[in-house]
Structure formats: C-alpha cells, structure tokens
Amino acid sequence: MFSLNGTTFTSNSLSGVSRCLTQSSRRVSAPMVVVAAVSSNGKPGDGSVSVLVENALTESAAPVEMEVNSTVTGGVQDVYGEDSATEDQSITPWTLSVASGFSLLRNPHYNKGLAFSERERDTHYLRGLLPPVVISHDLQVKKMMNSIRKYDVPLQRYMAMMDLQEMNERLFYKLLIDNVEELLPIVYTPTVGQACQKYGSIFRRPQGLFISLKEKGKIHEVLKNWPEKKIQVIVVTDGERILGLGDLGCQGMGIPVGKLSLYTALGGIRPSACLPVTIDVGTNNENLLNDEFYIGLRQRRATGQEYAELLDEFMYAVKQNYGEKVLIQFEDFANHNAFDLLAKYGTSHLVFNDDIQGTASVVLAGLMAALNLVGGTLSEHTFLFLGAGEAGTGIAELIALEMSKQTGIPLEETRKKIWMVDSKGLIVKSRMEMLQHFKRPWAHDHEPVQELVNAVKSIKPTVLIGSSGAGKTFTKEVVQAMATFNEKPIIFALSNPTSQSECTAEEAYSWSKGRAIFASGSPFAPVEYNGKVYASGQANNAYIFPGFGLGLIISGAIRVHDDMLLVASEALAEQVSQENFEKGLIYPPFSNIRKISAHIAAKVAAKAYELGLATRLPQPKDLVAYAESCMYSPAYRSYR
C-alpha cells in the first residue's frame, strides 16, 4: 500500500493467482525495501515522490513461495484474469505500507479497527491512532449487532450497515453472514426499496458506477475509472421498475449495491470482483424531477434508438474491458426493455435477468418442494397468475419447461396448464392481436373474464401466484374461493416490497382456515391461527442468484442456458428437509444459505460442463467441495 497525495493504493499480490486454479509456482526472494518515483496520476514519471517501505520481515529472510502466473489447463486462456477474479488474493511479504497508518484505517478493504494486533499496530504505524484494547472479530460482530438493534427504523439500520461496509468490509460481511436471517431484510428487500426512494437524501459516497447519457461515446473509458480491474459480476439497472415502486431513475443504485452484497455474503464472490452499475437515461417520475435532492439526470427517459445505442455501447465496453466470462445481471428494467435485452444479448454475452430467470427458478423450487405436501406432479396441477410481466411470464415459462422435461409433452401443450390475468383480465385468444409478444404464449381458448375472483372460480387453479406489483389484490373472496376446491391451496404472493404484497401471511392462513401453503416475496413473521403457529416461506431470489452466479464462474461458463435454471431449482428443492416440511416450510432456512449456494453452484457448473459451455478444464471431480473452497471468507488475515 502506498499513498499519493492522500490517495491510498494497495497491492494484495503480485501474482493475482487463484488458489483453486494454480498449476505451478516458483520461488522468488522477497526484497526488503522498494523505492519508486511516482507522478500524481499514479504513473512513473515526475511529480510527487513517495518512498514505499515494505512490511518488516523480521521473522526470516528466507525465500517465499510465490505464485507468478495463472494458466488454466485447456479451455479459453485467462486473458482478462477472470479465472482468478473470484478468488481471495493472498497477502504476501510484497505488501507495501504507508509511513502513516491513518490511511490504512480509512481503507475498508484492509481496516480491522480494534482487531489490529499489537504487532500490526507497531508494524503499520497505528500506535496512538487506536484505543489500546485489542478485540476479536467475533466481539466486533457482537458489538455491531448490539448497536444496529438499537435502531427502531429499518432505514436507519440500512444506513448503519452501509456505513460499516464503507469502513470495514470484512466486518460487514461477517456480520451479514453470521446474522443473515435478521439482516437480509435490511440490506435487501424490503428496506432497500425505502433506501432507493430516499437515495438522493441519504447518498454519501459512490458505491458503484453511474453511467448516464453524458457518458455516451466514452463508456469504455468510464469503466476504467473503477479501481478494480478483475471484475467477474456486474449488476446493472436503469431504475425504471424498482421492485414494485416504479421509476426511481438514478436512485435505483441501491438495487445493484444490495444484490452484489448478497453475491459476496451468500455466494462467496470476492467483493472486489463485483461492480454495481446504474444506467441513467432520465426518469419519468415527476416527484424526482422536482426534487432538489435528486442525484440523476433531470430529463424525461430516453427511449428508442438513443436508449438502445447507450445500452449497446455499455454491453460491448464491458466485454472489451472484462472479457467473455463476466456475468452481467440485468435488474429492475421495465418489461418492454427486460425481455428485449435478454433476447438481444443472450447469444453474445453471459447475461442473466434476475427478475425473469431468478424469480422463475426460486418459485419453481418452491412449487417442487410443495408437491411433498400436496402430492401429485407439476403436470397434474393448474396454475393461475395475477401479473403477466417479466416475473410472471418468466416463472410460467420455466414451469412449462420443467413439466415438458418431466413428461416429454411438447412445451406448447404444457403451457396450456398455465393461465394469466393482467390489468385487462384473463389472457385469452380473443385478445391476441392486442397482446405484447411475451404474453401471447399464454392466451388460451376461454371466454373473457375481467375480475380475478371470477377467473379463480372459472379456472379452478390449484396454484395461485401473484407477481402483479399491486398490493391487497388477493382478497378474502379470492383466497376463500381457492380454499373451496383445494384441500391445500398453494398461494404465492411474490410482489415486493411488503406493502405491495398481494396478501399477507396472516390473511392467507386465516382466510383459508390454516390450510394454505403460503410463500411471499418479502418476509412475514410467523402467524398463529387456532392455536397453531404457521411459518411461511419466502420465495426470495437470494436463494438462487448467488449460487447460480458462483456456478457460472467456477465453470467458466460463457452463456446461460434454461437447463441451468432448471437444475438450480431442483438443487434448491432438494435442500428442504423433512423437518422443514413438518413446519409447513417449502424453502430451507437462510441460516444454511452458503452451503445451499455451494450445492446450487455445483449443479449449475455440472450442467455447464454437460452442455459444453464451460471453459475451465478439466472439470473438478467434486464440484460441491470445489465451490466451497472458492468462496470468499470474511475472516481477518494477519498483516506482516
């Protein structure tokens, strides 16, 4: 680490080699002192000069084992360092430190706060900059949880977590991993929705890249401004459809930041390999345009060719900067763009839309698990959706694909088991000419029906799924109708945040007299009905996308295939234990999420190898163990 005009730079490792992928290494001796003349822009040359003093090597002057190159046997050459991007880089005696330790305390990647040892305080010039006590990582977690729990308002807890992430990265992730069930609703839905709504007011420091129309023509250079160069996962939004809250423009940045925090905490992707991006093309939200604290472009949304050209430049700049295997996850794009972007770039980039594909996979997993409680196969059930947007149609398509896979029946036939209601009523063939292209496969022969409750009574579904973004639409009459012809009606109210949920857990259980199998997008507290406690499931995408992304990365996949989504669903459903079923749960507890993610990653990676889409060769024999070994750990590391 060295300092130039107040800016801190750190060299973790000269090799940057993945510990999972190293094929060879050689011995090199460690130098004792490094002196460099560096210009103010970080390049060799004239300008301010800093003396770089290496960490003291008082223990031994013996040669040190150093990994000096990274080559994956077979497959595509690791030109961009992608194959090592997910791996935690080793601390070596080549690490450099500044004369003053104050910069170290301001660097979230390396700061340990009061956990710096006595030796580290001497070596890194921290004496006097910290109180004398030395505490453990675990005690820091306990202290921070005690502080966070004192906040009554969820948004205050969110801000406290974001402040911690900017101050001490490893403590943030250990806190989140150790308390995932309590903190997941804080760092992501539903609280992240509130954070996005007020992002302009609470914005303090950048946590990702903002690419606006002002950067058109120079996105390649803008990407180079991001300090990390080995990027493996990008989550990008244009802010037009944030959760169920609508167009939040530039303030949608909270979504990529939150998603990538979960990629690290739940999926083990190294934080520095993650890049949050917001594409700012304006907003049609009048409240934001008139808000003096709004941080985005104050103009109406760009559409058509102007929008397409900006996105196209972004997609190819990403590939040029980070390579073929960087995963680009589209998040919270409006329907009219979400489907088009996935179709356009699915054949040329490694892309994944969590709203379409991630939601579909987690819901399919819940349905497969629910069959253990209601019996039958998927093809023996009838499905009715409220909401025919990207989430609803994405779920429906994956269900139809799984039914086709299980039965051998053509996809066109399995789709007939699935019905949809949109804002104009039941989707039927008489409406075909007026339907958007992604709704047309779900138009069946039936007389028009306007109201949901009448559609329920007519279709008599065994499964009711809400993805409408409209709260309180599963009324008492709707739930009771489901319960009249189903002993155990399956009801999924998936819309986020909590305020937009189609019904609450309490409503589902009380109106069905305790017979419903219920899951929601946002969490609900356990419900007591007639002396029995019901713990509802949460169909949270966080079950799927971290492990799914990890599986793509460890296999070096170059494209996403529908079969990968199916095996991810199957892998998640397999993790629901008999004990969970006895409690009425159709999803496993989040306390085991990292093991679940490793299991999903292994199945996804295996499918990538089977389909010939993997580039990391040879295939590891035990993919679960391999996935676990590659996962980022937030444990502190000793600095010499």
87 closest CA partner among 621, 616, 640, 619: 616
* CB-neighbour burial class of residue 77 (10 A; exposed 0-12, middle 13-18, buried 19+): exposed
Parallel, antiparallel, or unpaired for β 418-422 and 425-426?
antiparallel
- Phi/psi for 105 (5° steps) reads -70, -20
Q: Once rounded to an integer, what is the mean pLDDT over residues 100-128?
A: 92
Q: Residues 273, 207: contact at Cβ < 8 Å?
A: no
* The pLDDT of residue 602: 98
CA end-to-end distance (rounded Å), the chain: 12
3-state secondary structure of 466: strand
* CB-neighbour burial class of residue 494 (10 A; exposed 0-12, middle 13-18, buried 19+): buried
Which conformational region is residue 531 in: left (phi greater than 0), alpha (psi within -120 to 50 degrees), or beta? Answer: left
Given a cut of 70, is residue 300 above it in pLDDT?
A: yes
* The pLDDT of residue 244: 79
Q: How far is CA 455 from CA 77, 380, 431, 432, 492, in A?
A: 55, 19, 16, 18, 17
Token couple for 291: 């808000």
Q: Residues 209, 226: contact at Cβ < 8 Å?
A: yes
Q: How far is CA 444 from CA 402, 414, 449, 466, in A?
A: 20, 12, 12, 19
Q: Ranked by mean pLDDT, which of 69-78, 278-287, 529-538 comes out on top?
A: 278-287
* The pLDDT of residue 182: 95
* The pLDDT of residue 305: 96
Alpha-carbon gap, residue 586 to 578, rounded angstroms? 10
Given a cut of 80, is residue 197 above it in pLDDT?
A: yes
Token couple for 272: 């520095």
* The pLDDT of residue 1: 42
3-state secondary structure of 189: coil
pTM, rounded to two decimals? 0.84
Residue pLDDT, tens place only, 400-413: 999 999 999 999 99
Residue 258 contacts by C-beta under 8 Å, 6 or more apart in sequence?
Answer: 187, 188, 192
Q: Which of 259, 319, 439, 603 is catalytic?
A: 259
Alpha-carbon gap, residue 49 to 36, rounded angstroms? 7
Q: Residues 134, 114: contact at Cβ < 8 Å?
A: yes
- Phi/psi for 360 (5° steps) reads -60, -45
Given a cut of 50, is residue 65 above it in pLDDT?
A: no
How many CB atoms sit inside 10 A of residue 277's CB? Answer: 24
Token couple for 494: 């998936």
Q: Is 540 annotated as belonging to a binding site?
A: yes
* The pLDDT of residue 543: 97
Q: Once rounded to an integer, what is the mean pLDDT over residues 194-209?
A: 90
Alpha-carbon gap, residue 35 to 38, rounded angstroms? 10
Confidence of residue 84 (pLDDT cuts 50, 70, 90): low
* The pLDDT of residue 200: 86
Given a cut of 90, is residue 616 above it in pLDDT?
A: yes
Confidence of residue 83 (pLDDT cuts 50, 70, 90): low
Confidence of residue 286 (pLDDT cuts 50, 70, 90): very high
Sheet holding 209-212, edge to edge: 209-212, 274-280, 233-237, 327-330, 350-353
Tell me, yes or no, if 125 is annotated catalytic.
no
Alpha-carbon gap, residue 229 to 80, rounded angstroms? 9
Token couple for 408: 């051998």
Residue with tokens 């300090």: 227
Q: Which of 80, 188, 626, 639 is catalytic?
A: 188
Given a cut of 60, is residue 573 above it in pLDDT?
A: yes
Residue 620 contacts by C-beta under 8 Å, 6 or more apart in sequence?
Answer: 554, 626
3-state secondary structure of 620: coil
Q: Is 562 annotated as belonging to a binding site?
A: no
268 closest CA partner among 633, 640, 637: 633
Token couple for 630: 């590659």
* The pLDDT of residue 498: 85
Tell me, yes or no, if 173 is annotated catalytic.
no
Residue pLDDT, tens place only, 121-133: 999 999 999 999 9
3-state secondary structure of 312: helix
Given a cut of 70, is residue 44 above it in pLDDT?
A: no
Given a cut of 60, is residue 63 above it in pLDDT?
A: no
- Cis before 190? omega within 30: yes
Residue with tokens 């356009």: 344
Token couple for 349: 């980039």
Q: Once rounded to an integer, what is the mean pLDDT over residues 237-263?
A: 94
Q: Is 496 annotated as belonging to a binding site?
A: yes
Token couple for 394: 């994405």
Alpha-carbon gap, residue 259 to 316, rounded angstroms? 22
Residue pLDDT, tens place only, 524-546: 999 999 999 998 889 999 999 99
3-state secondary structure of 328: strand
Q: Angle 408-412-418 (CA atoms, 0-180°, nearest 5)?
A: 100
623 closest CA partner among 1, 17, 20, 203: 20
- The helix (H) or strand (E) run that includes residue 102 is helix 102-105
Tell me which of 4-13, 124-133, 509-518 is least confident: 4-13
Alpha-carbon gap, residue 518 to 511, rounded angstroms? 12
Residue pLDDT, tens place only, 464-502: 999 998 999 999 999 999 999 999 999 999 998 888 999
Q: How far is CA 605 from CA 102, 295, 360, 552, 602, in A?
A: 43, 40, 19, 6, 5
Alpha-carbon gap, residue 187 to 185, rounded angstroms? 6
Confidence of residue 369 (pLDDT cuts 50, 70, 90): very high
Given a cut of 60, is residue 206 above it in pLDDT?
A: yes
Residue pLDDT, tens place only, 433-449: 999 999 999 999 999 99
Q: Once rounded to an integer, what is the mean pLDDT over residues 231-244?
A: 94
Confidence of residue 372 (pLDDT cuts 50, 70, 90): very high
569 closest CA partner among 363, 387, 408: 363
Q: Residues 223, 317: contact at Cβ < 8 Å?
A: yes
* The pLDDT of residue 140: 98
Residue 122 contacts by C-beta under 8 Å, 6 or more apart in sequence?
Answer: none
Q: Is 241 annotated as belonging to a binding site?
A: yes
Confidence of residue 584 (pLDDT cuts 50, 70, 90): confident
Given a cut of 50, is residue 45 above it in pLDDT?
A: no
* The pLDDT of residue 639: 84
What does DSSP assign to residue 217? T
Question: What percentage of the chain carries pLDDT values higher than 90?
Answer: 78
